[in-house]
Amino acid sequence: MRHFKKILFFLLFITAHIFGQSIKNDSLQQQKNPRFKYQSLIIPASLITYGVIGLESHQLKFLNSDIKNEINEHIDTRFTIDDISQYTPFLSVYGLNAFGIKGKHNFKDRTIILGTAYLIMGATVNTIKKTSNVERPDGSSKNSFPSGHTATAFMGAEFLYQEYKHISPWYGIMGYTMAAGTGFFRIYNDRHWLTDVAAGAGIGMLSAKIAYWIHPFIKNTLFKDKETMDGAIVPFYNGEQVGLGLSMSF
């Protein structure tokens, strides 16, 4: 299963490289304290570019098909753990705070950041899905590109890393490992192509980064007079899809 191993290597490489680059960028930030760092765009932009090129590249399309055929040839049982694991990274932030391990921001600020990131990610993914018209590997629909599950997972991984990088780098490693696992199972379960997963990872990361960059503006304009905030994460099921909804009151 040569391509099966390549997928694992590719996703683990992404995880290691993202984390290594994040540490490097944070070191630069401590020295110069810039609010926007163009270096932070390199990895998510590269992943998105890979996915976009895959829409037209015959070589990448062939690789996608080759991976699908190999998985279908050797795998009979599917595991839908990715329907849950996509939410695990960002839910971990609230879980850790609940157990007394305080992150970088209080409940109000981190919820604003998460909500902003989710809106950016969701709007981007759904808009591209409606216009790309890429058929899923299992043939169930034509909204395969990019992977929304993977985008959610990598958005949450970046959120978890940003909130807890001052305590330990292992929180970031844990988050990105879970996100990479989500991407892997989207391919494993015949729901997405490798190019879908790569683009989704890039979009998720970039959405979280943008949310942190613009948070001071969002907070000072939309939430300036809001001293308190209550919120809840509510699960939903519409007969076909399982997900989580974010509800906030001010």
Domains of the chain: 2-32+39-75+82-226 (1.20.144)
Q: What is the pLDDT of residue 153?
A: 97
Report the pLDDT value the prediction gives residue 206, as an integer from 0 to 100.
Answer: 95
Sequence-distant (6+) residues with CB within 8 A of 229 are 107, 108, 111, 112, 223, 248, 249, 250
For the chain, the average pLDDT equals: 83
Q: pTM of this prediction?
A: 0.83
pLDDT tens by residue, 103-162: 999 999 999 999 999 999 999 999 999 999 999 999 999 999 999 999 999 999 999 999
Tell me if 103 sits within 8 A of 164, measured CB to CB. yes
Residue with tokens 């009151």: 249
